[in-house]
Chain A
Amino acid sequence: MGQNTRESQKYSISSYQSFVLLFSTIFGAGVLDLPRNITDDVGNDTIWVLIIAGLLVWCILMLITVLIQRFPQESIAEYLIKILGSKRFVWIGRILSVLLLIPIAGAWLAGSAMITRTFGETVHIMILTETPLLAIMVPFVLLVCLAGCSQISVLAKFSELLFPLSLIPIGMIIFSTLIHGRLLNVLPLMGVSWEQLISGVLTSAYAFTGYTVVLVFSGFYQQPKKALKVHSLAFGFTFLLYWGLCVNTLAVFGPEEVTKMMWPVLEAAKILQIPVLIERMESIILLLWVSTAFTSAANLYVAFVEMVCGSLKWTERWRKGVAILFSFVILGIALYPDRIQEIWAFQKWYGAIALGIAICIPLLLLMIALIRKQKGEIKYAKKTSSH
């Protein structure tokens, strides 16, 4: 029965849901210190360096999309064996695919852990300074674990529900900066050196992690043909918000101040006041931010669990076990760094490795698929309308 459930889910994610899923995965905790990291590298030129980075990531995403469109309604575990395996020696494909799946799975797990830790640190430093980190992180991981236990269609609906909620803080921050921002802080745009440019582009590209989850989610799309458009839209929207937040925090604080602050985006929210009603907004913003961090971590984790179960051909029954087991791993990784500097180093490594994986593996797979002329086909198209 378990196998049937996965089969019946094949066409469960609508175009809008895939848009929300991709948006909420990318738009995570990483955005809090994004302006600091980039401005540290390229100063005022963040404004256009970020655009270059965005284009770079968009190209990678398109590469992935082309790959998954070649194998519509198949999850990565399935088409990997097709691409890499041969008919005579099935085990070759199995072994090769596991070798490629492990780094992707590891990156997702690490990403989920990193978001958990960042979330814990933000709450710990800004509001609950006396509460132990573990007490903040355990409920979060518990929720992520709950999400991991559920099916992708449930997650998609849940993300859909939280989507407007996550837009509120962003709207507030952009509003605050429109009032307090100064053009003087953004100018001048000087030329940066090539080294600075490259490191700036890479730093910004690190911030857009998590889009690799489409490798798994695409197996459940109702209309895989639309993926190119939907992915572009989702990424474009995310990028626009990232860019808006960066430019706005820069306009409010100026390049020097941005590099000095722990979380420039949150500080930008802090200066916002609603006269008479509320003088301090940061708690509210942080509360709303929980949903953003959560959907991001949960999506990565669900993709991870799905991939593990899918590649090992485990039935639905196993899903809960896997989800519960690996949530301890998330907690373990999240608790590992002691100092804030270690978290930053961890973030940087994670970003670099995730970017490497996002470029190399899909490129490799697509090339092999093209050479071997491997292709999939839509199996469930007819049922789409009835759903």
Chain B
Amino acid sequence: MRKKLLPISIVGLIFCLMSTGCWGQQEIDKRTMIVALAIDKNPEEEDGIELTMQVAIPQKIVGGGGESGGGGGGDGVTEIFSGRGTHLSEAVEEIQKQTNYPLFFGHTQTLLVGEEVARSLPAEFYDYLRRNPELRRRLWPIVVQGKAKNAIQVKTQLEQIPTLYLRDMIDTNVKRGRLPDISLGDIYVRRGNVPYQVPALHYIGAKDKTFEVMGLAIYKGENMVGSLGQELSSILLNVVDEKPGWAISTDCPDGAKGEVSLWPMKVKREIEISDDPAVDMRLHIKGRLIERGCKLDLSELAVTNQVEKAFIEKYEKLAQTLVKKAQTEFHSDVFDLRQRIYAYQHDLYEKYDWNEKINEIPIRIQYDVTIERMGLEAK
């Protein structure tokens, strides 16, 4: 046994030395914890960006431990840093010069992109983000109306760290089917797919003490070309993601004054692409009635059918508007049809130059609405 003691202790010692991680040792509170990134156009130079970071101060978070814990939230829990540069790493270095500890990207929750930058992204914009092993792929990329810097400076009351508030807000809406489930990783994937197209992204506006979901930012290829409001983004969600979208209202049938409102719960989608080529889509929405603003006896099936018809008309009208907008205003394949054709009907894909063709072919969208229930009221 004594013979073996020496080799065992040597091996043990080497293991202890090697496995402590003393190289690059980094105390968890000795790093600058970034929770959000915001990217704007550099106001000083022609091309170049301004990067703004929201940094959390863990010691000040209530319930997060630390000496000064226990104070109220809001002010002082986060700090904002800004840096400018022609590209991302330069701006990051600029910020690193202002901070006491190394920057840590591992807790980044959102990537806010100002509308102006989103409309003219620098080449290989995502490269720095992709290479960095700390940044996760599951973070929300968000397009901000106006400047992203304004959004990152919003101070929320309900949540100490405003970014967490924003993240939860997006989470909630994604779960309820009102925003698409598009993370940074999904952008990477879609950019790589054969028809080069960034999907519609979350589009928000900054208010005094909160954020507001504005709808969706629409892209053509890599750059943003416009945005959709609540109603039109519902249609896009129905078609692309098979998600129910926002609540919808329409005039009461038979000229009665007032409006009825529907809460869509489920969507079923069928897409058919014929060789003409033409696209036919059928969408079946099931939902519940949430408000009736006119005198209608909804206990009668015939009346409910009339209401359903009114919703169908409303949906189809919106759909037509969206198709027209996509084809004439955005010139963009918002419905992600090219990839569908590429994957399922490859012969058809080979026949045409679909980048142009997609904006010329007829796209017909038919709706079908079932009002399954209507809350606690029987009429």
Q: Is B136 located at the chain interface by the 8 A CB criterion?
A: yes
Interface of B is mostly: helix
Encoded as 1 (CB less than 8 Å from any B CB) or 0, chain A from 133 to 145 comes to 0010011001000
Give the residues from 339 to 354 in chain B that come closer than 8 angstroms, CB to CB, to chain A.
339-340, 342-344, 346
Which of B19-27, B53-61, B316-324, B358-366 is the interface stretch? Answer: B19-27
Which of B18, B133, B185 makes the CB contact (< 8 A) with A135?
Answer: B18
By a CB distance below 8 angstroms, the chain A residues around B18 are: 135, 138-139
By a CB distance below 8 angstroms, the chain B residues around A255 are: 192
A186 to B339, CA, bound (A): 11
Residue contact B14 to A138, C-beta cutoff 8 Å? yes
Residue contact A187 to B21, C-beta cutoff 8 Å? no
Q: Is A256 located at the chain interface by the 8 A CB criterion?
A: yes
Q: Is A95 located at the chain interface by the 8 A CB criterion?
A: no
Which of B138, B189, B344 makes the CB contact (< 8 A) with A188?
Answer: B344
Give the residues from 115 to 143 in chain A that come closer than 8 angstroms, CB to CB, to chain B.
125-132, 135, 138-139, 142
By a CB distance below 8 angstroms, the chain A residues around B106 are: 280
Residue contact A130 to B24, C-beta cutoff 8 Å? yes
CB distance from A296 to the nearest CB of B (A): 21
CB distance from A36 to the nearest CB of B (A): 13
Residue contact A257 to B192, C-beta cutoff 8 Å? yes
Which of B26, B137, B339 makes the CB contact (< 8 A) with A184?
Answer: B339
With A125-B133, A139-B15 in contact, is A254–B342 under 8 Å at CB?
A: no
Q: Is B301 located at the chain interface by the 8 A CB criterion?
A: no
Q: Is B120 located at the chain interface by the 8 A CB criterion?
A: no
Residue contact B188 to A257, C-beta cutoff 8 Å? yes
Residue contact A183 to B137, C-beta cutoff 8 Å? no
CB distance from A284 to the nearest CB of B (A): 14
Q: Is B11 located at the chain interface by the 8 A CB criterion?
A: yes
Q: Is A267 located at the chain interface by the 8 A CB criterion?
A: yes
By a CB distance below 8 angstroms, the chain A residues around B355 are: none
Q: Is A190 located at the chain interface by the 8 A CB criterion?
A: yes
With A126-B133, A254-B189 in contact, is A139–B14 under 8 Å at CB?
A: yes
Residue contact A256 to B192, C-beta cutoff 8 Å? yes
Closest to B137 in A: A271
Q: Which 9 residue pairs across A and B have the least CB separation, nearest first?
A: A130-B24, A256-B192, A187-B343, A131-B23, A257-B192, A188-B346, A139-B18, A184-B343, A257-B189
**24 residue pairs A–B, Cβ–Cβ below 8 Å:** A125-B133, A126-B133, A129-B24, A130-B24, A130-B26, A131-B23, A131-B24, A135-B18, A138-B14, A138-B18, A139-B14, A139-B15, A139-B19, A142-B14, A184-B339, A184-B343, A185-B193, A190-B346, A252-B189, A255-B192, A256-B192, A271-B185, A279-B136, A279-B138
Hey, which bits of chain A sit against chain B, CB under 8 A?
Answer: 125-132, 135, 138-139, 142, 146, 183-188, 190, 252-257, 260, 267, 270-271, 273, 279-280
